[in-house]
Structure 1
Amino acid sequence: MNRLSSSSWHDVRAAFREIWGYEDFRSPQGEIIRCLLARNDALIIMPTGGGKSICFQLPALLQTGLTLVVSPLVALMENQVQELHCKKLPAALLHSELSSIQRRQTLKALEEQKLRLLYLSPETLFSPPVWERLIKPEIDITAIILDEAHCLTQWGDTFRPAYRRLGAVRQALLKYKPVGTKISIAAFTATADPLAQETIQKVLGLQKPEIFRLNPYRSNLNPTVRIAWTPNGRKQQLLRFIKNRPKQAGLIYVRQRSSSEELAAWLEELGYSTAAYHAGLNAEGRRAIETSWLNDKIPFVICTSAFGMGVNKPNVRWVVHFHAPLMLSEYVQEIGRAGRDGKPSEALTLVSEPTGWLDPEDKQRQDFFELKMREQQIEAQQLVKKLPRQGEINSVMAKFPNSATALSLLHSNGQLEWLDPFNYRIAAEGKSQASTHIKASKQMHKYLFSRGCRWQSLLKGFGFGGESENWRCGHCDNCLKVRS
């Protein structure tokens, strides 16, 4: 890696103090910033609240070109850009919810090279008005940052097919840039097990990346799993939990939109001020709920996994999973939204008893997930037989509506490769990945019904197996049972 001189590093630290007001970096912020300033590829696995945005914002501001930040959620982009604007820094965002005037202003600033950071979703990145400007030879692009990179590996209702095309972006851009241009790629995520890390590196085409892995253990976060013997028992356990924590900020996660609305309506009837949040709400409705929660006007939100990513609220005292997530990576992401201020916080998960005889809902959700994965694979295999060996994605989408997920699965299987972000080629016969995702969901089930230390299980699941077999966190429900 190119080393910065001591005088240059002094300037970096001085800029950090001037912009953010902190005296020095937290480990490994400094090392990551050095890496990105040297324009090296990187994979950064950093727990929520670890200060990851500074790691790519500071290098972007210190360099002369443009850094593209690909982010999955509008709320996440808006929060970060608003903070940068408050500091009068040259950043902007593009997404489908902007007015035409705002969009034109940002595209003009992009053309005039007045920006250092441009936040956008993968779908916006691939839209013609944006892509046609980015490929202009005079637009100097220094780096591509993929925030919340785990979205590359997660399948299900929140899956974004466009993520699988991001690995073709760098080479496609370089074709239009002056010889010798270097564009680095850095992927940031709070959770990635060893298999997910491998997938992220492969899909994005990272070149000899520096890897920064922070242990996700949080001594202030206390995970607990409780069995709910009946559907009504699950609701009563939730109610008791909430009653014991008046005026504390929290989040209640469910897996379906209908569940969020039903649960919110039930709690409102009981006199609680809350709201249902899911991807089916319009932009205005989502922003209103986020703002009310962030400003403590409502203490908790009933939400699907669509809520919380990148939302910065330090004083969240608890997270309840009314329904358990399907994967450990989702679980760690969601419980990580509690206790960012370092104070003790609770993470409660309610599960049906293992047989599912008294309450079959959890088992039904698991079976539905597995069935959906297999159906998607069948659709993908049917589609690949109808596709020309080489083609363009928009033509395929026009001929075969709703084929985006199938194309992404074919790419995941190794049956399709992207020649550039818009053109594909059918590759040698690959292998179905459905079993991989089903295996990951089985890992979650094993965690929920484990009698061992919760944190030890999580650390092993994310590749931090160096902890002693006898090590226990001492503050999860299973550790507390042993102590009592």
Structure 2
Amino acid sequence: MNPEKRTWEQVYQAFQRIWGYKDFRPPQGEIIRCLLASQDTLIVMPTGGGKSICFQLPALLQKGLTLVISPLVALMENQVKELQERNLPTALLHNEIPRNQRKDTLKLIATQQLRLLYLSPETLLSLPVWEILINPNLIINGIILDEAHCLVQWGETFRPAYRRLGTIRSALLKHKPPETKIAIAAFTATANPNDQGIISSVLHLENPQVFCLNPYRSNFNLQVKIAWSPRCRRHLLLNFIQSKKQQSGLIYVRSRRDSEALAQWLNSLQNNTASYHAGLSPQQRREIEEKWLKNELQFVVCTSAFGMGINKADVRWVIHFQPPSLLSEYLQEIGRGGRDGKPTDVLMLMSEPTGWLDPTDKQRQQYFMQKLEQQNQEAKRLINQIPKQGNIRAIAQEFPQGEIILSLLHSQGQLEWLDPFNYRIKSTQVNTNSSNSKSNQLIYYSQIKQYLITRDCRWQFLLKSFGFHQDAKNFRCGHCDNCRR
């Protein structure tokens, strides 16, 4: 069935047949219309708002393949499993799947038997996958960037492949018939106006339709408590957990080491928990996820890698044992709770503001800023050694930090990607004191610090921070710690 001839009634019937819901949630219907019309789109919707259906349904209704670029293996596996259980033509590719399964998936792509393909930015840009995708006979309808905030948070240093995604569409179109259209849509739960601009610019979105929903969740009770010492922090945590009896929850920490140490201490006190971080094997991570989903673990002590896209409705509490670096991280992580709409308690523990009694929070932020400064200094040192024009694979082989350096230069407007693999340096002057990346990070760190100490309604503060100034006017949620006070 051609998209032009498909009636909205037929789209609606497919939605009800596949997912069994009675109706779309606003603005799901409008987003689906945009994607069926090959319109570039930027969507900011709260966690649990039904973003996945917005790109899954159009992909399943069209002839051809839709690429879903996703940051985490667990997130991909969770969504693909649900679709495959409905016998829908979906697959995933990542570097942890067995070679035979990978080979079978590549064959399914080449023979056009899939409608949805989930893969990471790095896998998308690997040669075996790319060579299949550029086949002129392979129909590609759309490119979906799921969890698009990762482009902003990770694209400069941690996952530099994100910075090359803006050239994907133009590179694919060079190999496709002249009339081919490939829409790009970016989905996230958290993006302030500045982040939206970065996403739109890096992806080269063309006159995108923008859907921004207020992040307010009326069932979330936000609270911040000062921990005057490391011992006090653990005491506050333990009291909170004990008050929740056997309710399901999550504890977020900022490092692998903290995750392991805290989980070990809690288990020694007869709490049923586990440590979850990116250093675990894929099998270990899956086992922990499954146990938590089945309530065999009451809670998990985890880094930011846990929970993205995992659908567990009855999470009644979320604790940040340490403040995150970014407000967007905070909103993402608390969004894993309360998906059923029932009351959910959200607690953040912080060192006292001066840092004199417990400097650990301040030291952690300083460490991340120093690391960013070191990377900028490395970019300044290497920029005159790197060829002004070249191929990223050659650079990666010659320079250990080559990909990150190119990504930093791109974020500072000093480099352009000619295609997904070739670059051109526009300027060799790196001013590390005024680089975009450093300036943005300072702004973001300042925001989280202000959130911790504000005496205003916490939801009002979040609304302002994410650009919803009109909604924030005279807003009081009535149920955060400041409103209750």
Give TM-score, length-normalised by structure 1: 0.97
* Gap change, CA 1:374 and 1:407, over 3 Å in 2: same
Tell me if structure 2 keeps the 8 A contact 1:149–1:187: yes
Partners of 1:100 and 1:202 in 2: CA distance: 36
Superposition pairs for residues 396-475 of structure 1, below 5 Å?
Answer: 396-428=395-427, 432-433=435-436, 434-467=438-471, 469-475=473-479
SS in 2 for 1:54: helix
Unaligned residue ranges in structure 1 (runs of 5+)? none
Summarize the Cα distance change of 1:157–1:390 in structure 2 as closer, same or farther, 3 Å threshold. Answer: closer
Q: Could you tell me whether the CA contact under 8 Å between 1:152 and 1:164 is conserved in 2? A: yes
Letter in 2 for 1:286: R
For 1:332, the equivalent position in structure 2 comes to: 331
> Shift in Å at residue 147 of structure 1?
0.2
Residues 65-84 of structure 1: CA distance to partner in whole angstroms, max 9, x if unpaired? Answer: 10000000111111111111
Amino acid at match of 2:480: C
SS of the residue aligned with 1:153? Answer: helix
Aligned to 1:467, what secondary structure does the other structure show?
helix
Paired AA for residue 472 in structure 1: R
- How far 1:403 sits from its partner (Å)? 2.2
User: Which piece of structure 1 moves more, 292-301 or 377-386?
Assistant: 377-386
Which amino acid in the other structure matches residue 246 of structure 1? K
Shift in Å at residue 439 of structure 1? 1.3
1:323 deviation in Å?
Answer: 0.5
Once residues 17 and 473 of structure 2 are traced to their aligned partners in structure 1, the CA distance between those partners, rounded to angstroms, is: 45
* SS of residue in 1 equivalent to 2:417: strand
Structure 2: unaligned runs, 5 residues or longer: none
Output the CA distance in 2 between the equivalents of 1:49 and 1:330: 16
C-alpha deviation, 1:417, in angstroms: 0.8
CA contact (8 A) 2:249 2:318 kept: yes
The corresponding residue for 1:25 is 24
| Matching of residues 7-46 of structure 1 within 5 Å | 8-46=7-45
After superposition, give the CA deviation of every residue in 1:265-288 in whole Å (9 maximum; x if it has no partner).
Answer: 000100111000011111111111
- Equivalent residue letter for 1:12: V
SS at structure 2 position matched to 1:187? strand
Structure 1 residue 4: deviation in Å?
6.8
Partner of 2:106: 107
Identity of aligned residues (%): 62
Is residue 480 of structure 1 aligned with residue 484 of structure 2? yes
Q: Deviations over 1:8-28 (max 9, x none)?
A: 001000110111111211100
Q: Deviations over 1:184-224 (max 9, x none)?
A: 10000000001000000000000000000011000000110
In the alignment, the residues of structure 1 paired with residue 391 and residue 250 of structure 2 have an alpha-carbon distance, to the nearest angstrom, of: 42
2:106, 2:129 within 8 Å by CA — same for their partners in 1?
Answer: yes
Q: CA deviation at 1:470?
A: 2.6
* Mapping 1:37-116, distance limit 5 Å: 37-116=36-115
Q: Which amino acid aligns with 2:474?
A: N
Which 4+ stretches in 1 moved above 3 angstroms?
Answer: 155-158, 428-431
Cα distance in 1 for residues equivalent to 2:478 and 2:276: 34
Q: In the aligned structure 1, how far is the partner of 2:144 from the partner of 2:475?
A: 36
SS of residue matched to 2:418: strand
Residues 212-243 of structure 1, C-alpha deviation per residue, up to 9 Å, x if partnerless?
00110000001100000000000000000000
What residue identity is the alignment partner of 1:14?
Q
Displacement after TM superposition at 1:318 (Å)? 0.5
Q: Deviations over 1:382-440 (max 9, x none)?
A: 22111111000010010001322221111100111110111010013576121211211
Displacement of 1:156 in angstroms is 9.2
Partner amino acid, structure 2, of 1:404? E
C-alpha distance in structure 1 between counterparts of 2:147 and 2:473, whole Å: 31
Mapped to 2, the partners of 1:68 and 1:158 lie a distance apart of 24
Task: Tell me, yes or no, if the aligned pair for 1:316 and 1:340 is still in contact at 8 Å.
Answer: yes
Partners of 2:202 and 2:263 lie apart in 1 by 39
